[in-house]
Chains A and B, each alone.
Chain A
Amino acid sequence: MSSIYLDHAATTPMVEEALMAMTTQLAQLGNPSSLHTHGRATRKTLEDAREVIAQGVGCLPSEVIFTASGTEANNTALKGLYWQGRDNGRHVVVISAIEHHAILDPAHWLEEHEGAEVIQIPVNIDGVVDLDFLKSLIASRGHEIAVISVMHANNETGVIQPLREVVEIAGEIPVHSDAVQSFKKIPLSFKDLGLYAMSLSAHKIGGPLGVGALILRRTVEIPALLHGGGQEREIRSGTFNAPSIVGFAAAAKSAYYDAQHVQTLRDAFISGVMSAIPDASINGLNSQRLPGIVNVTFPGTQSDSLLLLMDGQHISCSTGSACSAGVHEASHVLLAMGHSQLTAQSSLRFSFGAVSTQADVDHVLSALPDVITRGRAANLS
């Protein structure tokens, strides 16, 4: 039986162009920091890649700092901007309540170890940050805020956040955005959004694992997490991972992602789910969402049982949230949207990619009723 992959928000297949570019580069010799011919050759391809990424996200090439992951970009930005602010007497870190753990956890770390006060912007029932909360927070404590971090689109629900408004409200306060999920899925321009910093990851867009980028305004200097050879504006030392960076750029350039196609599948899936399981509900249904992500609550089930049963039907999907020792915990995103522990733990994320097909949707919909029935029985046992 063929297997159905509906976890593209976790990672998605590498696109052909990226695979080709990367394998070609793997055979090339030369450290881009070396001054000789070999070094220069690698540097040339590396800087070509930087320009491609810059063009893809609407920033200057010098604003692209390659990292080993989106997580690293998030950590570098949040910690760096906090330390910079702290030097100027600002100790408050503002994040949305629905950030990925790669922002949530560094924020808590700053609180525990670096004297930060973390304030979370709540979201409404549709998963959108509360701009009024942010306005009044800035009105009362704006002078204390070192950094604001609000993701561009949520990884669990796909809900797109009003970033432009956040930046406008923030005024002079640096705003960082985790754009790992939205890059290539919806229009994205660093410059137009007016951000100070932004995080990207290659493997979410058909590039290789193990490479990401921090987009950081060229005039902003923040402390480094990794010290060494002084690469990447001395913000991120370490020999460039040229093959992965080249693969990243090839994926960024590729026109593989047809948002309309993905969205059509998603919408067909949603209507199929609702007719098969009438008491199911789509989280963030009333919001602007990414084309590929659907988060469904199936009342009376536990998502880890559903995941097992889906897997048994050769369907890969996700509980959409972090695991602690593999134990599924209620999603902080769904809790922030007003779910109870119980309903938050009755939810699954299906995420569609460029390669998804109507046949995938049909297969899942045909398996769904039995999975939900068994899942409900297991929940009562």
Chain B
Amino acid sequence: MKLIAAMSGGVDSAVAAARAVEAGHEVIGVHLALSANPQKYRSGARGCCTIEDSHDARRAADVIGIPFYIWDMAEEFHDGVVEDFLAEYSAGRTPNPCLRCNEKIKFAAVLDRARAMGFDGVVTGHYARTQESAEGKTLHRAVDHSKDQSYVLSVLTVEQIAGAIFPLGDTTKVDIRKEAEARGLAVAQKPDSHDICFVPSGDNAGWLRDRLGSEAGPIVDQDGVKIGEHKGAYTYTIGQRKGLGLTVPTANGSPRFVLKIEPVSNTVVVGAREDLAVTTMRGERPVFCGSAVTATKERGFVQVRAHGAALPCTYFLDGPLLVAELDEPLLGLATGQAMVIYDGDRVVGSATICETE
């Protein structure tokens, strides 16, 4: 096949590209320039998006022996990922930008462009696997569960999965680093990236405050009684306990947690730990990586964070909404997060959480 390898400058995408070449594909490396004004040097724990990273990617492509280009996706990234991130926060939700990037950039803008230019698919260094089945290609967890990235890929449609190649899904990260070393790739020991790539300082709250302002507002208890003041509602996360600055103690001295963020009234609602408990979640705009979920209740697992646990649940479709009923209550679940349904290791589909109870 003729493939585009998306190369961030990190070790995973470099090894993925090398493996694709070794598998006999005709591979071209592409680094996505996602920032209109990239920083010159890496700082903190990001592994992409700086000029230094694009040099790392180019060097890896040269060592592997494949052509290499940089595609300017800054505008698409800004509109599809950064703006969405801001909009979600200002609506009081907690988005996952990596998931949005896969949905709108890597397996949309890039894959579409690749296909138009005569390529068959896009190779990435994601830790996930695909399998051929009667219903087409299905998406599965990586062998290395600690690195599994199927969660952030769960937004891909059947059509997108068909054009996705994940050569690393059968290997552990430790072995990928060893392999990179053996292949002479200088990025073998480059640190993992785990912050949000477009927040260079790593200070998400500060970054949001700079862009959304920091309008102070009330912190209230569940009865609506004001017990404190916050410095910008969107810098809080559901389930957050620290940094609330509350001086009024609860009757029994138990700690308070953020239960809810109400963007319209700019209010943060706090309450007791048990009030965080969620047993049912509903998600909008569901996407299925294979045959669609129906109104028939099925047993499976739901995951609500990139590296969260797979929680046993019953799932079904309720009109346009994907519903998961948990066997055991979960503490602290924010709207805007993705709920990803698994059948064993297979990704069934995902939706953006819009209601919890």
Contact = CB atoms under 8 A, between A and B. Distances in A.
A378 B33 CA distance: 17
Contacts of B109: 381
Contacts of A312: 28, 67
Contact of A308 (B28, B33, B112, B115): B28
A255 interface: no
A323 B68 CA distance: 14
A239 to B, nearest CB: 30
A308 B116 contact: no
A304 B69 contact: yes
Given A308-B28, A311-B67, A328 B116 contact: no
B116 A307 contact: no
Contacts of B74: 327
B54 A381 contact: no
B72 A308 contact: no
B202 interface: no
Interface in A315-369: 323, 325-328
B148 to A, nearest CB: 30
Interface string A366-381: 0000000011011111
Nearest to A376: B116
A113 to B, nearest CB: 19
Contacts of B216: none
Contacts, number: 49
B51 A308 contact: no
A241 interface: no
Q: Is the interface of A mostly helix, strand, loop or mixed?
A: helix
B117 A309 contact: yes
B312 interface: no
A39 B266 CA distance: 80
A31 interface: no
A305 interface: yes
B70 interface: yes
A304 B115 CA distance: 16
B54 A308 contact: no
Interface residues of B, number: 20
A328 B72 contact: yes
Interface string B102-119: 000000010011011110
Contact of A325 (B51, B69, B115, B117): B51
Nearest to B4: A308
Interface in B143-168: none
Contacts of B115: 381
Contacts of B260: none
A326 B58 contact: yes
Interface string B57-84: 0100000000101111010000000000
A327 B51 CA distance: 10
Count chain A CB atoms within 10 A of each CB in B31, B33, B113, B117 and give the residue with the most: B117
A378 B117 contact: yes
Count chain B CB atoms within 10 A of each CB in A308, A326, A328, A374 and give the residue with the most: A326
A378 B72 contact: no
A369 to B, nearest CB: 14
B67 A305 contact: no
B113 A381 contact: yes
B70 A327 contact: yes
Interface in B237-276: none
A137 B149 CA distance: 62
A325 B38 contact: yes
Given A326-B33, A327-B33, A374-B118, A307 B69 contact: yes
Contacts of A307: 69
B33 A377 contact: no
Interface of A: 304-305, 307-309, 311-312, 323, 325-328, 374-375, 377-381
Given A312-B28, A327-B74, A374-B117, 10 more contacts: A304-B69, A308-B69, A308-B117, A326-B69, A327-B72, A374-B118, A377-B117, A380-B116, A381-B109, A381-B113
Interface of B: 28, 31, 33, 38, 51, 54, 58, 67, 69-72, 74, 109, 112-113, 115-118
30 contacts: A304-B69, A304-B70, A304-B71, A307-B69, A308-B69, A308-B117, A309-B117, A309-B118, A311-B67, A312-B28, A323-B70, A325-B54, A325-B70, A326-B33, A326-B70, A327-B33, A327-B72, A327-B74, A328-B72, A374-B116, A374-B117, A374-B118, A375-B117, A377-B117, A378-B116, A378-B117, A381-B109, A381-B112, A381-B113, A381-B115
